[in-house]
Structure 1
């Protein structure tokens, strides 16, 4: 099977338009554990030349490397290969596997393998690609690029396509940033996944069930790097244009830059369970828009009688924060001295509020009882207020979780509840607004400590 592609000719140039050729390699026998893939490919494709790119289906790499395991239950095999669940819907799981790839079922394959067994992906696909490349060089004396490919689904796109999960001697990313387009516009974000484009081209002739596990792309020698390792260091530079990352690993997006790292329910659960109280902040300014988005999430909390009992006072200037915190400090000191506390005790209590001073942004959530009912007896009136306080807590929790979703750290401190009159006066708040603590907001200066595990069973009583 062969396919050819060529760019259309133009009137502006007399040079031949660029083109490439892709063909499947026939004659490769059933691969078994311990087989030398490079030798098998070299025997089936002795006409390989410098600059060709070999596209090798991961399934035969796994077979040669003995990655066939007994598994009566495929789900257990998927569990063993899973680092984290990205999204789940029924039995279908999109996960990050041990190779760092995000894909369905961790790449565990139960097809084209004996009953009761499954195929796992190669343990180190980049090393597998390099081994094939070195073997081809030794057998045929040619310098080729090698990609180990596997089939992926893609977000927002129907259907499957092959992508590169291992690479050796191939520029997996073509970084065009800093160049210009045909109109002279500077390219600021264009990084082409060349390895994935090659993998997709090869899949057109390999197919999913045609019995051709290897393809060759010819005519794109500029993507092949000469040298003795996957990075192409022998070519005098960073082959992948990725600051030193080598092989197909460079195609995996860094978690810090991944805007779609989790499915919806997993993102919500992660934001809730991984939210931490941050005690130290950087001086990086906080985006007011991010805080307002968090407020928008906060006011979706449930509340009694169709009321909206939340108000959020945003202290965006250093002057407003300092004025409030100074007044609160003075009020605390006066109260504690009135209680006969020692100066050492008072100093310790005041230091607890330092987290509010260190934060570049403060928010004071307030409870408003508009719409509450008055019953005329203490018991029912107290229960009415408790309902509103619970609604306020739900709003603050929404707010903190939404801040975490914005990658902002936070600390809820109850201090304003002990000097409400002072807070109302300094912030010029209505008399019926009850400050319910203060929330420090900012970028965490260090990673929070791991929280001790809490099992739900310890907090549940069943009747």
Structure 2
């Protein structure tokens, strides 16, 4: 006997009145169903509720003569900006335009904020509908998003209850018997988009119903609803920063990368991908340089033998200098421990300055200025390098020690005599999050003429 092909049905729920602060959305939805203007609700149906009416019912209407101030208050991080448009991460972790602050369909002089906790909003609606109608439904609270690399808007899930928000297909096989290893479907987002096709944006139909996908509503078949509803919610759809490969990109994100570049002094033992370091070098050599020169060289110490050989030789040279300066053995040992940040890192890089192409001047003043230009461009290259490492989620520490024993470094690493080591960069995965850094007032570093 042939089975019917998979199918589902979606329709908008008519009969909902204008929602006002303090309204019980579940009761309004139940009343609209009871009026008979729709096919009713059965176990396994999914209610798709526009976040705007959840916000109105929860009193998330605020007076705001300036919408921008409301956006500021809801923003955690600016991701991108173009003219007046801002793409930001809001306090819910959602990356979207204007932090979800809406000035449409709300009285003049006010704006509408997203629900305080959209998952909790969905749970209240689900529980209320179950109490009023005796049916086990899933609820998805939706909002409209733009998407990177795609034109147009679509609804996505920002809150959910009683719904499997992620349909994990890993471990199953496709029609050809191939194992699925990475397929996790954003089921709640797909439901939200389906509902938006019938709700529309201007028809005054803020709720839709999907029927025929009861496998996404575990409670409909008895048991399991609480785990789905109280556990994941739509929050599970928000990718955490550590897994976000596209967190950086625009000019605002570049500034964020600069902020993320922190000196790391404790590293894990996890090996460093040499390809990531080479990508950071590619960023480094885009720095400005005088006379169309390329004065950077980066020596990558990828073997433990190379790192240990260099650090041991530098330690011996430093100890000899300290003893010659009259330091006690205790003081010498204490100062040598400062080099542990390099010794404990799984990867070292020695940036070098090469002044090929520099101009020769007969007087000392201009000759010193010429070298300073090259030193400055070396620093610019290293800064590019450090920021690019942060973009690769690698921590770093730029330590000046090689500058005090350049002859030793050149000898151990067999470098040309005209390569000037400009410190050493420890590279690796940070063993712990960086400590909070006190904010610096940019105006304190500015002098205007």
TM-score for both structures, normalised by structure 2: 0.96
1:368 aligns with 2:354: yes
Equivalence for 1:51:
44
> In structure 2, how many angstroms separate the alpha carbons of the residues matched to 1:414 and 1:206?
63
Gaps of 5+ in 1: 1-12
> In structure 1, how many angstroms separate the alpha carbons of the residues matched to 2:260 and 2:127?
45
Gaps of 5+ in 2: 35-39
Equivalence for 1:7:
none
Paired residue for 1:126, among 119, 124, 144? 119
> In structure 2, how many angstroms separate the alpha carbons of the residues matched to 1:186 and 1:239?
26
> In structure 2, how many angstroms separate the alpha carbons of the residues matched to 1:342 and 1:137?
79
> In structure 2, how many angstroms separate the alpha carbons of the residues matched to 1:263 and 1:320?
35
> In structure 2, how many angstroms separate the alpha carbons of the residues matched to 1:336 and 1:162?
66
Paired residue for 2:180, among 181, 187, 198? 187
Paired residue for 1:381, among 367, 386, 389? 367
Equivalence for 1:301:
287
How far does residue 263 in structure 1 lie from its aligned partner after superposition?
4.2
1:21 aligns with 2:14: no
> In structure 2, how many angstroms separate the alpha carbons of the residues matched to 1:284 and 1:371?
40
1:431 aligns with 2:420: no
> In structure 1, how many angstroms separate the alpha carbons of the residues matched to 2:222 and 2:423?
57
Change in Cα spacing, 1:329 to 1:272, as seen in structure 2 (3 Å) is same
SS in 2 for 1:94: strand
Kept after mapping to 1: 8 A contact 2:218/2:225:
no
How far does residue 234 in structure 1 lie from its aligned partner after superposition?
4.1
1:310 aligns with 2:296: yes
> In structure 2, how many angstroms separate the alpha carbons of the residues matched to 1:17 and 1:310?
64
How far does residue 208 in structure 1 lie from its aligned partner after superposition?
0.4
> In structure 2, how many angstroms separate the alpha carbons of the residues matched to 1:412 and 1:112?
54
Equivalence for 2:313:
327
How far does residue 166 in structure 1 lie from its aligned partner after superposition?
1.0
Cα offsets for 1:238-266 (capped at 9, x unmatched)? 538xxx94211111112111111244112
> In structure 1, how many angstroms separate the alpha carbons of the residues matched to 2:225 and 2:122?
21
Equivalence for 1:239:
228
Change in Cα spacing, 1:262 to 1:430, as seen in structure 2 (3 Å) is closer
Cα offsets for 1:6-49 (capped at 9, x unmatched)? xxxxxxx7111111111111111111111111111111113211
How far does residue 76 in structure 1 lie from its aligned partner after superposition?
0.8
Equivalence for 1:71:
64
RMSD: 1.7
Q: How does 1:263-412 map to 2 (within 5 A)?
A: 263-412=249-398
SS in 2 for 1:45: helix
SS in 2 for 1:301: coil
How far does residue 237 in structure 1 lie from its aligned partner after superposition?
8.8
Change in Cα spacing, 1:233 to 1:25, as seen in structure 2 (3 Å) is closer
> In structure 2, how many angstroms separate the alpha carbons of the residues matched to 1:178 and 1:388?
56
> In structure 2, how many angstroms separate the alpha carbons of the residues matched to 1:336 and 1:98?
52
Cα offsets for 1:159-205 (capped at 9, x unmatched)? 11111111111111100011111111111111111111111111111
Equivalence for 2:206:
213
How far does residue 145 in structure 1 lie from its aligned partner after superposition?
0.9
Change in Cα spacing, 1:255 to 1:377, as seen in structure 2 (3 Å) is same
> In structure 1, how many angstroms separate the alpha carbons of the residues matched to 2:115 and 2:249?
26
SS in 2 for 1:439: strand
TM-score for both structures, normalised by structure 1: 0.93
> In structure 2, how many angstroms separate the alpha carbons of the residues matched to 1:15 and 1:277?
62
Paired residue for 1:93, among 81, 86, 89? 86
Equivalence for 2:18:
30
> In structure 2, how many angstroms separate the alpha carbons of the residues matched to 1:248 and 1:355?
41
1:204 aligns with 2:197: yes
